[in-house]
Each structure stands twice: as structure tokens, then as C-alpha cells.
Amino acid sequence: MYDRILSGIMGLCIGDAVGVPVEFKNRKLLKNDPVTDMRSYGTHSQPKGTWSDDTTMTLCLADSIGDIGTIDLKDIMDRFVLWVEKGEYTAYDEVFDIGVATRNAIFRYLDGSSPINCGGKNEYDNGNGSLMRILPLAFYIYKKYGNDFFKNEWAVKEIHNVSSLTHNHPRSKISCGIYISVAVSLISNKSIDNIQNAINNAFEWYENNGHFSDELVHFKRLHDLESFKNLSEDNISSSGYTVHTLEASLWCLMNSNSYEEAVLKAVNLGDDTDTTGAVTGGLAGILYGYDTFPKDWVESIPKSQWIKNICVKFNNSIMYV
């Protein structure tokens, strides 16, 4: 299991770092100057390999489960606070990016709201801020509930609760549920053949559960993954909207043959490049494995030994859940 955890979390971190220097650059601009390797500086003036909030919040979740052995919503929020207030869990002890919905949620927490009520509940609160940090939960869910976790009400609730810390609208929760389902299928057998099945399991649950069913229309393009895969790039958006990020990551994964190709494809879609890179990189990392990542990319990541230590602790802690 450790190899898949390392591949997923490092895959996400590196995808994030490839995207950071060109965040907010649009697709047309990147067509003229495509990203082909890990760059330095750019949008946030950060050295090569610098990862951002996506990785920070992913590490907060993995470290929390690693220390506690279960999902403790308050503890996860406390770690988000350490990040925002003290720069902990960052590449260079500095906070240089944070999403609006996430910041608002952390402020609500500091004002005394319970963790479960911190995330925004409005339709415009559906940025990709919970999707970008949810990946560690896939390993935990897989270990605790297995492949068929959608059959277990509590498993789905755990995913939704972790999303709701910052993103509490049903659409954000569905986005996380579908992503976790795909990640779990990749963890259980490293193949894209079962992704449609994983998505179908998610659809089946959401169709039959109250206020979620009305939201499924926003994910309808994933109903037929083969047609979705064959859409041209012009039909794939890469904004900070959670549905766009989920779609873009699956489209890049399905249309690539290596980790490197998937991440570069994601980043070159433009706009929210670091998060599209991170969300794609997490899945592609599990699928292709850490050993296939470009060596230079791996070596450019700051605090990589510390990240590996978090992965080791996380792996040990979910061994017996």
C-alpha cells in the first residue's frame, strides 16, 4: 500500500508544482509557449518545485489521519489554521496562495463554527478547494471499506464531511465522491478499465439520495466515459470550478500514456493549472507509479523526505482501520 500512497501523494505534489509557475495563464498563451518541464518562478515567483495550497492541504489531511488513525474533523481544521497562521505544511514556510472559499471557511472556524459547518453552502461556493485536497481519503476509505464503499452509508458520509470543512454544497461533495471512487479503483487495480464502473457506482448512490440527485446533471458528461474521452480539448474547461477540475483530470488521465504526459496535458489546459495538475497528478501517480516520474521533477521537490515521512506514518496508521 505504501508504494501507492507515495505515488498518489507525490504525484499530486509534483503535478501541483509543475502548474504553479503558470497559474492563471490561459490556454491560448500556453499554446504558444507550452510547459514541457518543471519551470522556475513565473506567476508566484517561487523557485522550481514549489508546491502550493493543494499539496499543503493534502498533507494536512494525511498527517492528521497519520497521527490520529481516524477522521477527526477538528484536528484537520486545526492543521489548516497552522498553515494559514504560521505557514506550516508549506514548501518554504510561506503562504502564497489560498482560495476564497477555503479562507472564509477557516475564518468561520476561528470564529467558533463547528468544523462541519465551516464550508460555504451556496452554489457559487463550488470551487475545487475540497477536491484538491481529498486524495488521502481514498486510501483510508479503501482500507476501511474496500472497493464497494458506496454500499456503506458511513463511508460516503466520511467523504462528504471532509469536503464540508471548506466546501459544503452537494455539488462539491459529489465531485469528491466521484474522484474518490475513481482513485479507489486505481488503488485496487492499477488500470483505467474500471473507471467507468467506479463512476457508475457513484452515480447510483447519488441518484438515490435526496438532494444529491438534482445535482447529478452537472456531471452528466461522465455518464459515458468513452464519448467523454473522445471530446476535443476545446470542450474541456480548466477553471477553478470543481466540475471542470474533475472533468479535466479524468480527460487528461484517459488521454495519456504516462504520468508525465498526463500532468503536462493538465497544466497546458491553462487557468487553474496547479490544481488541474495536482488533481490529475494524484490519479496518474497511482496509475503509473512513483518510479515512472521524471527524476528531475522528483528531485526538485522541497521537503520531499518530510513528505515521504508523512506517507510512511499515514500508511502505518491506516493499516488496521
Please identify which residue in 12, 13, 39, 54 interacts with Mg ion, judged by CB under 5 A: 54
Residue nearest to Mg ion (CB): 52
Cα distances from 206 to residues 76, 151, 159, 174, 219, in angstroms, run 26, 12, 13, 8, 11
Please identify which residue in 9, 46, 53, 102 interacts with Mg ion, judged by CB under 5 A: 53
Backbone dihedral region of 176: left (phi > 0), alpha (psi from -120 to 50 degrees) or beta? alpha
Q: How far is the CB of 55 from Mg ion (least distance, A)?
A: 8
271 binds Mg ion (CB under 5 A): no
Comparing CB distances to Mg ion, the nearer of 129 and 177 is 129
Comparing CB distances to Mg ion, the nearer of 170 and 281 is 281
3-state secondary structure labels for all residues of 153-222: HHHHHHHHHHHHCCECCHHHHHHHHHHHHHHHHHHHCCCHHHHHHHHHHHHHHHHCCHHHHCCHHHHHHH
Binding span for Mg ion by CB under 5 A among 50-58, 113-121, 150-158, 305-313: 50-58
Q: How far is the CB of 294 from Mg ion (least distance, A)?
A: 21
Binding span for Mg ion by CB under 5 A among 208-216, 240-248, 259-267, 273-281: 273-281
Comparing CB distances to Mg ion, the nearer of 170 and 270 is 270
Segment 282-311, which members bind Mg ion (CB under 5 A)?
Answer: none
Distance between CA atoms of residues 212 and 215, nearest Å: 5
Please identify which residue in 274, 286, 287, 317 interacts with Mg ion, judged by CB under 5 A: 274
- Contact track, Mg ion, 2-41, x by CB under 5 A: ----------------------------------------
Binding span for Mg ion by CB under 5 A among 167-175, 224-232, 267-275, 309-317: 267-275
Q: How far is the CB of 95 from Mg ion (least distance, A)?
A: 11
Please identify which residue in 52, 90, 201, 300 interacts with Mg ion, judged by CB under 5 A: 52
Q: What is the DSSP letter of 22?
A: G
Distance between CA atoms of residues 242 and 19, nearest Å: 17
Q: How far is the CB of 34 from Mg ion (least distance, A)?
A: 20
Distance between CA atoms of residues 147 and 141, nearest Å: 9
Cα distances from 24 to residues 20, 93, 158, 248, in angstroms, run 9, 23, 32, 16
* SS3 state at 65: helix
Please, is 42 exposed, middle or buried when counting C-beta atoms within 10 Å of its C-beta (0-12, 13-18, 19+)? middle
Comparing CB distances to Mg ion, the nearer of 52 and 58 is 52
End-to-end CA distance of the chain: 13
Q: What is the DSSP letter of 36?
A: -
Q: In this structure, what are the phi and psi dihedrals at residue 253, rounded to the nearest 5 degrees?
A: -60, -45
Segment 83-122, which members bind Mg ion (CB under 5 A)?
Answer: 97
Binding span for Mg ion by CB under 5 A among 68-76, 166-174, 209-217, 274-282: 274-282
Comparing CB distances to Mg ion, the nearer of 53 and 125 is 53
Binding span for Mg ion by CB under 5 A among 42-50, 51-59, 157-165, 240-248: 51-59
Enumerate the β-bridge partners of residue 167: 120
- At 146, which helix (H) or strand (E)? none
Q: Which residues bind Mg ion (CB under 5 A)?
A: 52-54, 97, 274
